[in-house]
């Protein structure tokens, strides 16, 4: 089983990320993960991180997407999904102070 990102669509304040759920020997099934743009702003997440955020959510859950349903699978990101993604990321590097020039002796 694998999940591949295949693009996005945006309407108003909702960006829909499209993935393909692939099982060897079966036809790929689309999964659409919708995310509200204000959710990104609220948690200071860059829009470029959207696919990684959605993929993290899909890969970490076992019951959020009903794989038995037919047609396109739908999922909506929640604040809990965003918090779980942020918790999985390494802490940001601390800004270093100015380096002092070595005095040649």
Compute the Cα dihedral for 77, 82, 84, 89 and give only its sign. positive
Q: Is residue 101 part of a domain?
A: no
pLDDT at site 100: 62
pLDDT tens by residue, 35-85: 999 999 999 999 999 999 999 999 887 545 566 667 788 899 999 999 999
**pTM of the model as a whole:** 0.77
Q: Is residue 32 part of a domain?
A: yes
Number of domains in the chain: 1
Q: What percent of the chain is predicted at pLDDT more than 70? A: 82
3-state secondary structure of 30: strand
Across residues 6-13, what is the average pLDDT?
96
Domain that holds residue 72: 2-87
Q: Is residue 93 part of a domain?
A: no
3-state secondary structure of 7: strand
Query: What is the spatial distance between Cα 11 and Cα 2, in angstroms, rounded to a whole number?
Result: 27
């Amino acid at each position: 089983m694998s999940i591949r990102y295949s693009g996005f669509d945006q309407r108003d304040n909702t960006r829909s990320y499209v993935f393909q759920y692939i099982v060897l020997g079966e036809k790929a099934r689309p999964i659409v993960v919708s995310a509200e743009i204000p959710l990104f702003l609220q948690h200071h997440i860059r829009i470029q991180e959207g696919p990684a955020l959605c993929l993290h959510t899909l890969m970490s859950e076992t019951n959020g997407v009903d794989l038995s349903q037919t047609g396109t699978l739908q999922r909506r990101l929640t604040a809990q999904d965003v918090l779980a993604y942020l918790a999985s990321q390494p802490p940001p590097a601390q800004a270093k102070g100015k380096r002092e020039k070595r005095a040649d002796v």
